Amino acid sequence: MPQALLVAMPQALLVAMPQALLVAMPQALLVAMPQALLVAMPQALLVAMPQALLVAMPQALLVAMPQALLVAMPQALLVAMPQALLVAMPQALLVAMPQALLVAMPQALLVAMPQALLHITAIG
In 3D space, the residue among 40, 50, 49, 92 whose CA is nearest the CA of residue 71 turns out to be 92
- Helix locations, the chain, DSSP H: 3-8, 11-15, 19-23, 27-31, 35-39, 43-47, 51-55, 59-63, 67-71, 75-79, 83-87, 91-95, 99-104, 107-112, 115-123
CA end-to-end span of the chain: 44
- For residue 42, the SS3 value is coil
Cα-based torsion angle of the residue sequence 83, 118, 102, 61 in order, rounded to the nearest 10 degrees: -50
The per-residue pLDDT for 61 is 65
The per-residue pLDDT for 100 is 66
**Overall average pLDDT of the 31-54 stretch:** 65
What range defines the domain where residue 13 resides?
3-123
Cβ neighbours for 108, distance < 8 A, ≥ 6 positions apart: 83
pTM over 0.75: no
| Number of domains making up the chain | 1
Q: What does pLDDT average to over the chain?
A: 63
The per-residue pLDDT for 46 is 64
Q: CA-to-CA distance for 3 and 24, rounded, in angstroms?
A: 15
The per-residue pLDDT for 124 is 44
pLDDT > 70: what percent of the chain? 0
The per-residue pLDDT for 123 is 47
Kindly report, residue by residue over 75-97, the tens digit of the pLDDT.
666 666 666 666 666 666 666 66
Asked whether the predicted pLDDT for residue 47 surpasses 60, the reply is yes
